[in-house]
Chain A
């Protein structure tokens, strides 16, 4: 089991879109190593012949009738938004300076 380094945690935090402070990285990295070490025990428990289970009950292709039902009004859908403009979600700029 490879130990998870501070740099790796920083990289994962970037992938997960969370700013972690230096203090948080110092704190989290060793804890994550301990957790990973303990979950690594399942390596090799199940052979190649075992099918994976993604859901407890095997249901497939659950359809409903294609009928129109009431849904949220625009006001309701926008009611929790941090910022609204012209009946739309208003978001920060998407592109960087160089783009």
Chain B
């Protein structure tokens, strides 16, 4: 059984095809693992054991009948609690949606069901995806499987921790400023933010519409490509969805894994490193980064230094655009149509009920950002803040355009530090925001990015991540470079990085 837990999704698909196991057996193994280790990790907000086993049994029947729905048919998956799931609670990590069961599936969820992947449950997250540590979840933080006293990243810490702790072979995350990639970096897993518009946002409870993007959370680059091909592609229900076919992602991952990057130009972004950037870059993060760059050079890539001068303003731009969009999106939580309703007193007016409900239902970080967004959008400040931020966004996109003329992909460390301790930055918003320094520019420009594990920092033995960014619509480049790096590093380590994570109490694997 333990073997199936440690298998990649691609290996599980092969084992299912070869008749070595069944979807029910694999799904049950993961549910047992969740029961054993999730009390300590808290990656899940809701586990749907019965539903997952029924979907697994249906997959096994399809296999017997020869009517498989996709290459991943029968491989179980966990879904971040920000995507709507018909019949399963969807809370977004917030009290205001406690117990809410949506009447419809997000397109991503529908595609998972149509591809035959049993859904294990919903994963923990910072409330409405606002945060970088999962500590802003109203239901308590997720713990990093590498060290349970540390954060698993955020906002998608639940999805990353579930995959890192072998509680799921695959998961779905969402990335607005780094919420897939930064948790990937600090948990030693793979996370991909597709090109904006590459994966449907229908049924994704919006944090910031112009930045949000759902994507794969996995243990290997190939698994991410397999999952990306299931969830990606045009959706008429999302008016920002890209109306063209996805590039060949699985093929790119397989090609990259051969280890040949001849002719590829890799741009190291000066502003996203210890030498030219803001923020405190941990030395162990920088040495693992340099090591990875050297390996890519050994694989035949050419390294060029590129400068994106406006990136130093990306964080400030993001923290104006995001709160502005979020404050307007979260206006729909008004205690009228769904979610919590709090009566401050009998006979209170709709407005009083709304105010009391939003006070009781939203946590500190959500309130901070709603107030900030309300300020940035208010008359007299609009041009100075929101208007200016939108212009800087244009400059950041131009920096990307110029950089991609010199390089096929851009690279940087994914996050400036390894996982910090729970509670360490909880009441210091600016320190928390700095975690997303290197991931935010991609969201502002809509370009795709991947984080691949790059090793353990010498000073604390915790995982570090290597980020690859590609031009819009060229997601295949992420998989080619990511798979090449993964192959080189795994060969050097003598096995996957997660093999070095400590065993968890209660878990045999």
Contacts and interface: CB of A to CB of B under 8 A. Distances in A.
Interface of A: 4, 8-9, 12-13, 15-21, 24, 27-28, 31-32, 34-36, 38-43, 45-46, 50-57, 59, 62, 64, 72, 76-77, 79-83, 89, 91-96
Given A32-B368, A53-B390, A56-B446, A41 B316 contact: yes
Nearest to B340: A82
A91 B349 CA distance: 9
Interface in B408-461: 429-430, 443-447
B310 A57 contact: no
A96 B353 CA distance: 13
A35 B430 contact: yes
Interface residues of B, number: 74
22 contacts: A12-B371, A15-B378, A16-B371, A20-B359, A27-B364, A34-B430, A36-B375, A42-B316, A42-B388, A45-B388, A45-B392, A52-B393, A53-B390, A53-B391, A53-B394, A57-B197, A57-B242, A59-B239, A79-B103, A80-B101, A81-B336, A82-B340
Q: Chain A at the B interface: mostly helix, strand, loop or mixed?
A: loop
Given A18-B370, A35-B430, A41-B313, A89 B337 contact: yes
Contact of B429 (A4, A15, A35, A83): A35
A53 B350 contact: no
B395 A35 contact: no
Contacts of A28: 364, 367-368, 371
A52 B430 contact: no
Given A9-B371, A28-B371, A93 B347 contact: yes
A42 B387 CA distance: 11
A19 B397 contact: no
Interface string B305-339: 00000100101110110000001000100111111
A19 B103 CA distance: 30
Contacts of A12: 371, 374-375, 378
Interface of B: 100-104, 196-197, 210-211, 236, 239-240, 242, 310, 313, 315-317, 319-320, 327, 331, 334-341, 343-344, 347-356, 358-359, 362, 364, 367-368, 370-372, 374-375, 378, 384-385, 387-395, 397, 429-430, 443-447, 472
B327 A35 contact: no
A59 B239 CA distance: 9
Contact of A92 (B104, B349, B393): B349
A91 B343 CA distance: 11
A49 B389 CA distance: 14
Contacts of A80: 100-103, 337-339
Given A56-B397, A57-B242, A46 B388 contact: yes
A34 B210 contact: no
A89 to B, nearest CB: 6
Contacts of B236: 64
B401 to A, nearest CB: 12
Closest 3 pairs between A and B when the two form their complex, measured CB to CB:
A56-B446, A52-B390, A46-B391
A50 B337 contact: no
B196 A57 contact: yes
Contacts of A51: 391, 394
B355 A79 contact: no
Contacts of B443: 56
